[in-house]
Copies of this chain bind each other. A is one copy, B any other.
Amino acid sequence: MSQYPERITIYEVGPRDGLQNEKSIVPTADKVRYVDLLTSAGLPAIEATSFVSPKAIPQLADAPHVMAGISHGANTRYPVLVPNDRGMVRAVEAGVREVAVFTAASESFTKANINTTIRQSLDNFESVVALALANGIAVRGYVSTAFGCPYEGYVAPPSVLEVTRALLDIGVSEVSIGDTIGVGTPAEVESVFGLLLKSIPAGRLAAHFHDTRGTALANVLAAMQLGITTIDSSSGGLGGCPYAPGAAGNLATEDLLYMLDGMNIETGVDLAKVAEASIYILGVLGKQPTSKYLQAYITKKGMSAA
Q: Which residues of A contact B (CB under 8 A)?
A: 1-2, 182-188, 190, 194, 211-215, 217-218, 220-222, 225, 243-244, 246-248, 252, 255, 258-259, 261-264, 288, 290-293, 295-296, 299-300
Find out whether the CB atom of A293 lies under 8 angstroms from the CB atom of B221: no
Question: Of all chain B residues, which has the CB nearest A187?
Answer: B263
- Chain B contacts of A295 at CB under 8 A? 246-248
Chain copies in the assembly? Answer: 2
**Neighbouring B residues of A243 by C-beta, 8 Å:** 296, 299-300
| Minimum CB distance partner of A248 in chain B | B292
On chain B, the residues within 8 Å of A212 by CB distance are 292, 296
Instruction: Verify A182–B222 contact, CB threshold 8 A.
Output: no
Nearest Cβ on chain B to A45's Cβ, whole angstroms? 22
Q: Point out the residues of chain B lying under 8 angstroms from A188, CB to CB.
A: 262
Closest residue of B by beta carbon distance from A217: B218
| A–B pairs, 8, beta carbons within 8 Å | A213-B259, A213-B296, A217-B218, A218-B221, A221-B222, A244-B299, A247-B292, A248-B292
Contacts of A293 in B (CB 8 A): 213-214
CA–CA, A264 to B184, complex, Å?
12
Known: A217-B217, A220-B218, A246-B299. A185 touches B258 (CB 8 A): yes
Cβ of B185 and Cβ of A259 under 8 Å apart?
yes
Distance between Cα atoms of A255 and B2 in the complex (Å): 23
Beyond the given A2-B190, A183-B262, A187-B262, please list 16 additional residue pairs across the A-B interface where CB-CB is below 8 A.
A2-B2, A2-B186, A185-B262, A187-B264, A188-B262, A212-B296, A213-B296, A214-B252, A214-B255, A218-B218, A221-B222, A243-B296, A246-B288, A248-B292, A248-B295, A290-B292
